Amino acid sequence: MAIREYIESDMLFQFDSDKVFLPEKEQFVIFRQHVKSCDFIWLKETKTADNLFFIEARNTAPFQQDTLETYLQKIHDKFCHSLLLYIAALFDRMICYRAKMNSFDKSAKIVFSCIFIHLYPLAGCLQPAVHGQPK
């Protein structure tokens, strides 16, 4: 259990190197123009269940509503692509990933998508987009 530090979008993240996967650094994602991925896939083990976190780190976010929706859609696409790549690796459809994620268990009970935005006031226009718009 070696804790390793990762710097992404001017933020420092610390993970057990056996419990984190960086899909964005993989050749499969780098050489495919339309495949996007989040920065980290992290398996957090607890006594009751294993939780899987898909983490996207960003430096900035737009304050205007129209550009914010486009921004959030791009992040949504990254999470979807990452989840599909993870599922494919778990079921041995992508052998190159499966070897790197051998410490990940197929029994993760809860999946989370997390966005970390460096120095962004969440009380701004992002909060309604994250929590949903009232009708």
Q: What is the mean pLDDT of residues 34-39?
A: 85
DSSP the chain: --EEEEEETTEEEEEETTSEE-GGGSHHHHT-TT----SEEEEEE-SS-EEEEEEEEES----SHHHHHHHHHHHHHHHHHHHHHHHHHHTTS-HHHHHHTTTS-TT--EEEEEEEETT--TTTTHHHHHH----
What per-residue confidence (pLDDT) applies to 89? 75
What per-residue confidence (pLDDT) applies to 132? 45
pLDDT tens for each residue of 54-74? 999 988 877 776 688 888 888
pLDDT band at 14 (very low <50, low <70, confident <90, very high): very high
Specify the range with the lowest mean pLDDT, choosing from 5-9, 23-27, 44-48, 114-118. Answer: 23-27
The domain limits of the chain are: 3-131
